[in-house]
């Protein structure tokens, strides 16, 4: 199969949508979820670029993954920032 064929492009788009869901759900993990959430967001935008050209049967997977990844990135990056801030300031105040 050629890399530029229609079937290859659609398959690539659907795989990116499913990867977005997987990474988005992993992005909800406490503390270590931020890199997974960022990977989920990246895959969502990659799939969204292709959705402008082709119909994506895995669009609900991409949308749910995007929501989970965005929530995970916001929540856990904030929590990680607070934890690191308190860990650093604990030694400064002594």
Asked whether residue 6 carries a pLDDT value surpassing 90, the answer given is no
pLDDT tens-digit map of 34-93: 999 999 999 999 999 998 888 999 999 999 999 999 999 999 999 989 988 988 887 665
Q: Which of 27, 23, 21, 25 is nearest to 58 (CA)?
A: 21
Instruction: Report the pLDDT value the prediction gives residue 4, as an integer from 0 to 100.
Output: 76
Q: Which of 64, 63, 66 is nearest to 41 (CA)?
A: 66
Exposure letters 7-18 (e unless 16+ CB within 10 A, then b): eeebeebbebbe
Q: How many residues does the chain have?
A: 94
Instruction: Report the pLDDT value the prediction gives residue 20, as an integer from 0 to 100.
Output: 96
Task: Tell me the C-alpha distance between 19 and 33, whole Å.
Answer: 15
């Amino acid at each position: 199969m050629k890399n530029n064929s229609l079937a290859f492009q659609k398959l690539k788009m659907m795989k990116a949508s499913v990867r977005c869901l997987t990474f988005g759900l992993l992005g909800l993990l406490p503390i270590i979820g931020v890199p997974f959430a960022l990977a989920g967001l990246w895959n969502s935008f990659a799939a969204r670029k292709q959705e402008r050209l082709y119909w994506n049967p895995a669009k609900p997977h991409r949308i749910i993954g995007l929501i989970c990844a965005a929530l995970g990135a916001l929540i856990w990056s904030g929590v990680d920032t607070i934890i690191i801030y308190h860990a650093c300031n604990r030694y400064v105040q002594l």
